[in-house]
Chain A
Amino acid sequence: MGMASGQDAALLDAVAADPRYHALVAARARLGWWLSAVVFFCFVGYLLLIAFDKALLAMPIGGGITSLGIPVGLGLIVLAIALTGVYVAVANRRFDSQMAEILRSHGA
């Protein structure tokens, strides 16, 4: 595995000493944890509603048949896809190009 390969050692040391690298990794981790927390708590909140207040989700909205649970459930599906899209857009455009820039500046 990669542990054994030492040819990248100089590059790794240079990157480790670069404050831009630390700022980038911290920003990416912050985005990842925030988005994870949003998904996690929205889903757990949904489960808690199902467990403790079924009637709320069964309540019709807009004077028709459609219940509140429908937009909430479908909304969770849309939220999961949308946040995935947000992360990929930011990571693939901003973070990846910044990382490439850092690596290039250290001769990678």
Chain B
Amino acid sequence: MRALSGAIAVTLLVAAVPALGAALEGEAQQQATNWVAIAMFLAFVGLTLWITKVAAARTRTASDFYTGGGGITGFQNGLAMAGDYMSAASFLGISAQIFADGYDGLIYSTGFLVGWPIMLFLMAERLRNLGRYTFADVVSYRFAQPPVRSFAALSTLLVVTFYLIAQMVGAGQLIKLLFGLPYAVAVLIVGVLMMLYVLFGGMRATTWVQIVKAVMLLCGASFMALMVMAQAGFSLETLFARAVEVKTQGALAAGATAGEAAERGGSIMGPGNFIKDPVSAISFGLALMLGTAGLPHILMRFFTVPDAREARKSVLWATGWIGYFYVLTFIIGFGAIVLVGTSDFYQDGTGALRGGGNMAAVHLAHAIGGDVFLGFISAVAFATILAVVAGLTLSAASAVSHDLYATVFRHGTATSQDELRMSRLTTLGMGALAVLLGLVFEHQNVAFMVSLAFALAASGNFPALILSLLWGGCTTRGAAIGGTIGLLTAFVLTVLSPAVWTDTLGMGTAPFPYSSPAIFSIPAGFLAIWLISLFDNSPRAALDKDGYAAQRLRAETGIGASSASDH
């Protein structure tokens, strides 16, 4: 693991998301073609294409496309939300991080989880009561539509594009690794399949693909964790003791003295190199926590359920499944130290894992269940990428067709059919763009892009949503311009940070020394919206402020909320 590559090791210390980074970068070696994995994956693809065919027959209106008709239950939506959130990068990346450094992996898991309760407590019912298809419906509720929708669409496209690049490059690397397919073929397969789901099945197919994938991933991870715990006599203490022993023996074998080796072994039980400086620590944590509540593809899921009650339930289910998944990942990571870290079979001559550092969970699958279970876990990883990418594309297509085309360009005169046509065209465009970007960024370090997506969502969408929902003084100009300022602050500071300025662009010492911009860009977003609204004396501002009382009433009571199905 340490020998993964010099460059990556350096990046890992400074980059915001080393665990995800490890999954997303690191040139993967192409493996021998794994036929069991391919057969399992074909079964999954067959099932999802059948789902798409069934869903396509029922996707006739824009509402079907964006929200699956709005009749998805809280339980189903919770699983789909969890599916959107549990990416292959977090499964393989976090378990790899634990395999390498132990405890640090848990810090990511908590950061990724704590945004969900905040989203529920401050936004869930208000989102559902005011929105129809996209989060822009909510932000722009009482404002002049074109400026606020343009901001929301810009922000959605930026967040989705960076998230998408990270997923596509990760997909190409992982598939090359797991299935032995060439990178370009892997990226093309992901692009085409994801386009088919979204294009024909819209939200209904995307939701069911997410659900199938979430269930597969949770089952596979549960089985792995169960087997690991069985080997350790169902005692975490025994598991930790063995892992420390393995790490200590490894350090001894590498030539450390007994004292050093014991220290290195014991180090996996506490926080290590994850956080260098406190500012980066808090900043990165804030981006994860508040960014979750601003991710357009997650927010969009609030509109697939019939009412606020089901919306709350979906967040509870999502939080439960995601939290459970992170506990499993933690056990899997330690299990990999014990079962994979001790076997020469999974390592090359130098002590590094065969196939790269991210293979920890995959090798563990083989150690536990042989070739068949290895094939299953590989197929699950591929399915996971496909589902996440489909969800992202759907949210970008909605932003373009519903926010930009129907509202900004056609001023609400577009028919449902026009809107549907535009979303499909956008889906085609996004699919092509995703494949293209996947190919362009093949050899780039894209680790920073996931943290950038979270930072953008936390600095633009989150302040705009919170202030438009909870502050009567917020105006059109404040939301549109202030939100854009938050967005741009996060973007510019990320470009000036070490992960991009130094490691990706090779421009020398970074002007912005911290790994995440959030601690500056989130306040910048809030402050900009507040100040601009405060000094906005335009006639429109008076209308905006007058509209708050009615918006608040509707947000709190659900009166006039868009119904489950409007056709």
Contact with A along B105-143 (1 / 0, CB 8 A): 011011101101110111001000010100001001110
Min CB–CB distance A96 → chain B (angstroms):
6
B319's nearest neighbour on chain A, judged by CB, is: A84
Q: A12 touching B559 by the CB < 8 A rule?
A: yes
Taking residues whose C-beta sits less than 8 angstroms from the other chain, chain A's interface range is 35 or more
Q: Which residues of B contact A (CB under 8 A)?
A: 103, 106-107, 109-111, 113-114, 116-118, 120-122, 125, 130, 132, 137, 140-142, 236-237, 240-241, 244, 266-267, 269-272, 274-275, 277-278, 281-282, 285, 289, 308-309, 312-313, 315-316, 319-320, 323, 326-327, 330, 547, 549-551, 553-554, 556-562
B contact residues around A33 at 8 Å (CB): 121-122
CA distance A65 to B245 in the complex (A): 10
B contact residues around A91 at 8 Å (CB): 125, 312
With contact pairs A66-B237, A77-B326, A84-B120 given, residues A43 and B289 touching in the complex (Cβ less than 8 Å): yes
Q: A50 touching B271 by the CB < 8 A rule?
A: yes
Q: B120 touching A15 by the CB < 8 A rule?
A: no
Q: A46 touching B319 by the CB < 8 A rule?
A: no
CB-defined A-B contacts under 8 Å, sample of 18: A3-B547, A25-B556, A28-B556, A39-B121, A48-B282, A50-B271, A67-B269, A67-B270, A69-B103, A70-B269, A80-B110, A81-B320, A84-B319, A88-B312, A91-B312, A92-B309, A96-B308, A108-B559
B contact face: mostly helix, strand, loop, or mixed: helix
A contact residues around B118 at 8 Å (CB): 36, 39-40
With contact pairs A8-B560, A43-B289, A108-B559 given, residues A58 and B271 touching in the complex (Cβ less than 8 Å): yes
B contact residues around A73 at 8 Å (CB): 103, 106-107, 109-110
B contact residues around A12 at 8 Å (CB): 550, 553-554, 559
Q: Which of A5, A15, A55 contacts B553 (CB 8 A)?
A: A15
A contact residues around B270 at 8 Å (CB): 54-55, 57-59, 67, 69
CA distance A83 to B316 in the complex (A): 9
Min CB–CB distance B90 → chain A (angstroms):
14
Q: A80 touching B275 by the CB < 8 A rule?
A: no
Q: A88 touching B121 by the CB < 8 A rule?
A: no
Given known contacts A2-B561, A91-B312, what 14 new A-B pairs fall within 8 Å (CB)?
Answer: A1-B140, A8-B560, A40-B289, A54-B271, A67-B269, A74-B106, A76-B110, A77-B110, A80-B110, A81-B323, A85-B316, A88-B312, A92-B309, A103-B557
A contact residues around B274 at 8 Å (CB): 50
A contact face: mostly helix, strand, loop, or mixed: helix
CA distance A8 to B323 in the complex (A): 41
B contact residues around A74 at 8 Å (CB): 106, 327, 330
B contact residues around A103 at 8 Å (CB): 557, 559
Q: A3 touching B323 by the CB < 8 A rule?
A: no
Among B141, B271, B553, max chain A CB count under 10 A is at B271
Q: Which of B103, B121, B142, B547 contacts A36 (CB 8 A)?
A: B121
Min CB–CB distance A59 → chain B (angstroms):
8
B276's nearest neighbour on chain A, judged by CB, is: A51
Q: A88 touching B271 by the CB < 8 A rule?
A: no
Q: A87 touching B559 by the CB < 8 A rule?
A: no
Q: Which of B319, B549, B562 contacts A16 (CB 8 A)?
A: B549
Contact with B along A65-108 (1 / 0, CB 8 A): 11101100110111011011101100110001001001100001
Q: B111 touching A43 by the CB < 8 A rule?
A: yes
With contact pairs A77-B109, A80-B116 given, residues A15 and B557 touching in the complex (Cβ less than 8 Å): yes
A contact residues around B554 at 8 Å (CB): 2, 8, 12
Q: B553 touching A3 by the CB < 8 A rule?
A: no
A contact residues around B315 at 8 Å (CB): 84, 88
CA distance A108 to B281 in the complex (A): 50
Min CB–CB distance A89 → chain B (angstroms):
9
Q: A52 touching B278 by the CB < 8 A rule?
A: yes
With contact pairs A57-B270, A81-B319, A88-B316 given, residues A99 and B557 touching in the complex (Cβ less than 8 Å): yes
Min CB–CB distance B294 → chain A (angstroms):
15
Min CB–CB distance B103 → chain A (angstroms):
6
Min CB–CB distance A52 → chain B (angstroms):
7
B contact residues around A70 at 8 Å (CB): 103, 106, 236, 240, 269
CA distance A97 to B415 in the complex (A): 37
B240's nearest neighbour on chain A, judged by CB, is: A65
A67's nearest neighbour on chain B, judged by CB, is: B269
Q: Which of B241, B271, B272, B281 contacts A64 (CB 8 A)?
A: B241
A contact residues around B547 at 8 Å (CB): 3
With contact pairs A2-B554, A65-B237, A80-B319 given, residues A57 and B271 touching in the complex (Cβ less than 8 Å): yes
CA distance A86 to B129 in the complex (A): 21
A22's nearest neighbour on chain B, judged by CB, is: B556
CA distance A57 to B107 in the complex (A): 12
CA distance A107 to B18 in the complex (A): 57
CA distance A40 to B116 in the complex (A): 11
A50's nearest neighbour on chain B, judged by CB, is: B271
The 3 closest A-B pairs by CB, nearest first: A58-B270, A51-B278, A32-B121
Q: A76 touching B114 by the CB < 8 A rule?
A: yes
A93's nearest neighbour on chain B, judged by CB, is: B309
B110's nearest neighbour on chain A, judged by CB, is: A76
Q: Which of B269, B551, B557, B559 contacts A69 (CB 8 A)?
A: B269
Q: B271 touching A2 by the CB < 8 A rule?
A: no
CA distance A11 to B110 in the complex (A): 43
B267's nearest neighbour on chain A, judged by CB, is: A58
A contact residues around B560 at 8 Å (CB): 2, 5, 8
CA distance A43 to B274 in the complex (A): 16
Q: B121 touching A77 by the CB < 8 A rule?
A: no
Q: A50 touching B281 by the CB < 8 A rule?
A: yes
Min CB–CB distance A92 → chain B (angstroms):
5
A contact residues around B316 at 8 Å (CB): 84-85, 88
B contact residues around A25 at 8 Å (CB): 556
Q: B240 touching A50 by the CB < 8 A rule?
A: no
Q: Which of A46, A55, A64, A96 contacts B110 (CB 8 A)?
A: A46
